[in-house]
Amino acid sequence: MKKKIMRIFCCIMATLFLSIPGMAYATEAGNTPIDVVQNYDVQILSTDVKHNRSLAKVTTHTANGEIINNGVRLRKSPSTSATILELMYDGELIWIDWSAYGSAGLNWHRVQRIKTGTYGWVSKSYVYHWD
């Protein structure tokens, strides 16, 4: 039920952002994050010019860090033996959840991969935080 409500909320927010000139804009580049509007990222996924509508993805987290190596493993839990969820690459944007820390206090960061929205754990040695 929560997911359904969140999807409806996101659709409404995307419609509002896209209907106000200057609030959000799309690029022709495809699936790249385009604008931050009051802490919301709006990403245009598809555009139907004939019917004057767009499909947009709205997320609440903005990047506050990036990955500093290639092939960095995003893991299910803070352990080198944990399941690998995805691989990330140098310069990739992430959102660091500062409320969660892994084993031994600060050896791991819980992050959200901006590109896919996947949450997981990354060794802090591969994270550069902007804050």
Stretch (H or E) spanning 84: strand 84-88
* pLDDT score of 44 more than 70: yes
CA–CA gap between residue 127 and residue 75 (Å, rounded):
14
CA–CA gap between residue 120 and residue 125 (Å, rounded):
15
Which phi and psi angles does 9 have, rounded to 5°?
-60, -45
Condensed to tens digits (0 to 9), the pLDDT of residues 75-89 reads 999 888 999 999 999
Q: Do residues 69 and 125 both lie within one domain?
A: yes
Q: Do residues 72 and 121 both lie within one domain?
A: yes
Q: Which two tokens stand for residue 53?
A: 């509508």
Q: Which two tokens stand for residue 6?
A: 């969140």
Instruction: Name the domain count of the chain.
Output: 2
Report residue 10's pLDDT band, with 50, 70 and 90 as the boundaries. Answer: low
Comparing 27 with 91, the larger pLDDT belongs to 91
Q: Do residues 85 and 52 both lie within one domain?
A: no
Q: Do residues 69 and 16 both lie within one domain?
A: no
Residues facing 111 on adjacent strands: 96, 120
pLDDT score of 59: 63
Report residue 4's pLDDT band, with 50, 70 and 90 as the boundaries. Answer: low
Global pTM reads 0.54
DSSP SS3 for 13: helix
Comparing 104 with 83, the larger pLDDT belongs to 83
Q: Do residues 9 and 23 both lie within one domain?
A: yes
Helix H, strand E, coil C: the string for 58-71 is EECCCCCEEECCCC
Report residue 63's pLDDT band, with 50, 70 and 90 as the boundaries. Answer: confident
Exposed/middle/buried for residue 85 (C-beta within 10 Å: 0-12, 13-18, 19+): middle
* pLDDT score of 72 more than 80: yes
CA–CA gap between residue 108 and residue 102 (Å, rounded):
5
**Which residues constitute the domain of residue 9?**
2-59
